Copies of this chain bind each other. A is one copy, B any other.
Amino acid sequence: MEELLHVRFLQLLALVSLLIFATAFVSQDPVQPQRPGPIAQPLASPTPTPTPLPPPTVRIDEYRAAAARIIGAALTSDRAYSRLAHLTDHIGNRLSGSKNLERAIEWALSEMKRDGLDNVRAEKVLVPHWVRGEESLAMLTPVPRKLTMLGLGNSVGTPAEGVTAEAVVVRNFGELERLGERARGKIVVYNAPFTTYGATVSYRSRGASQAARYGAVGALVRSITPVSLQTPHTGAMQYDPAQPRIPVAAITIETAELLQRMHDRGDRPTVRLKMEAKFMPDAESANVIAELKGSEKPDEIVLIGGHYDSWDVGQGAHDDGGGCIVAWEAARLLKELGLRPRRTIRVVLYTNEENGLRGGNAYRDAHREELAKHVLAIESDSGVYRPEGFGLAATAPLQVRANLREIAKLLSGIGSDRIAASGGGADIGPIMREGVVGASLDVDGSHYFDIHHTHADTLDKVNPQELALCVATMAAMAYVVADMSGSLK
């Protein structure tokens, strides 16, 4: 009994000590322990900027009530999730040129009008129309077996009988260079383990032409992902105009490792790659636009958006159906709450981000005259996981950064109050290069690349509450930026 009391006392002491322990570290402020950032988001980094910021010009006390209403409404509505469910379950994936994408565009236009949003319209864009067709990969020797694959977007196809060759395996471009002319007539296999998306994706985008330089007749690229359950990941590739165009496909980590082992043992495996992939004539598509017209400065624009097209596998749920729904629902929610800001909030669902970026370029060209009036452009294209805040372009004026940091304080209660040192997005890239300040909705990226561009990017991976938190985060930020009485810059 005495021993038990002794133990209880020690436990009590320990619990108290633990509180002291916690306090000790919290009291170290202002150097906060760094939260993990989204994995491999090419344009974002969680490193805080060291430059001292000017005082904010926005007064967030005026917006506490609005932020509370926005967060409350987002977290009690199933609209975002049920719309994403319609888009993914009832329409499905949406590659540029596909009927699904055009069906999705029609549906959005009609629903946005029903929502009562302003100036709902489609802005036509001609998009590339790449089709996968039938495709397969098989090992012929030393052991015949089917191999799981997905052709890479924009790749040429093979002759009907396929391309059959020895598979030579390299772990990186350096090994390819050392292999040199021994790659001639072979199929080059890139078995580069995932580090970050930005670092590893070059094998997908440039691998075919690099291999073609040395006379390879095809290329296979280990999927750009940290994990696999025989999961191939597609994605865009680009040909170097100076090299012959050879067919290229993604293989799974499992297959890449199998070929590596065989290569290392001197088995000289031969494989046959068959792909019907080809381009059809460019197809008509559109950027979908809807607005919440500003009450005082309607010509000033806060742009929020994502890309509406997806790869032709899975459902394009996180990439980027979710991002589109977040932007759309943010505007709808503000409309429903009667929160019409001074400036215009413009929702843009871009077409053709995945294999052409024609939507982003077309938006820039069609709106060149009003780009100077774009106060801020926020893109959501990192999945709709738990939001962590925003990544603001590293080049953004310090006054913008100071104001976004201030506004983000309204989001501290839902944990999405971080303004990362850099950000942006592919679709808003063209207008950012014309001087528009860009930002990204940043989310927990731990699992995005598990499913990115795969059959497994499906609605079940989307947590409805996390999606709602993304909507709240986007809506609150867009509203305050669009409504603040002074200038954001």
Contact = CB atoms under 8 A, between A and B. Distances in A.
Interface of A: 7, 10-11, 13-18, 20-25, 27-28, 85, 89-92, 142-143, 145, 148, 227-231, 253-254, 257-258, 261-262, 314, 450-451, 454-456, 458-460
Given A11-B24, A13-B21, A257-B460, 10 more contacts: A10-B23, A11-B25, A14-B21, A91-B143, A92-B145, A229-B450, A229-B455, A230-B458, A257-B458, A258-B459
15 contacts: A10-B23, A13-B17, A14-B24, A14-B25, A15-B21, A85-B261, A92-B143, A228-B456, A229-B231, A229-B451, A229-B455, A230-B454, A230-B456, A230-B458, A257-B460
B456 A261 contact: no
Contacts of A458: 230, 254, 257-258
Given A11-B25, A27-B7, A450-B229, A262 B89 contact: yes
A210 B7 CA distance: 54
Nearest to A269: B89
A231 B254 CA distance: 14
Contacts of A85: 261
Contacts of A7: 24, 27-28
Contacts of A92: 143, 145
Contacts of A230: 231, 314, 454-456, 458
B24 A21 contact: no
Contacts of A314: 230
Contacts of A262: 89
Nearest to A148: B455
B15 A254 contact: no
Contacts of A227: 229
Contacts of A148: 455
Contact of A20 (B13, B450, B460): B13
Interface-centre pick from A28, A92, A229, A460 (highest chain B CB count, 10 A): A229
Nearest to A22: B14
A258 B89 contact: yes
A92 B145 CA distance: 9
Nearest to A3: B27
Contact of A18 (B10, B18, B229): B18
Nearest to A17: B17
Given A91-B143, A229-B229, A253 B460 contact: yes
A14 B17 contact: yes
Nearest to A12: B24
Contacts of A22: 14
A24 B3 CA distance: 11
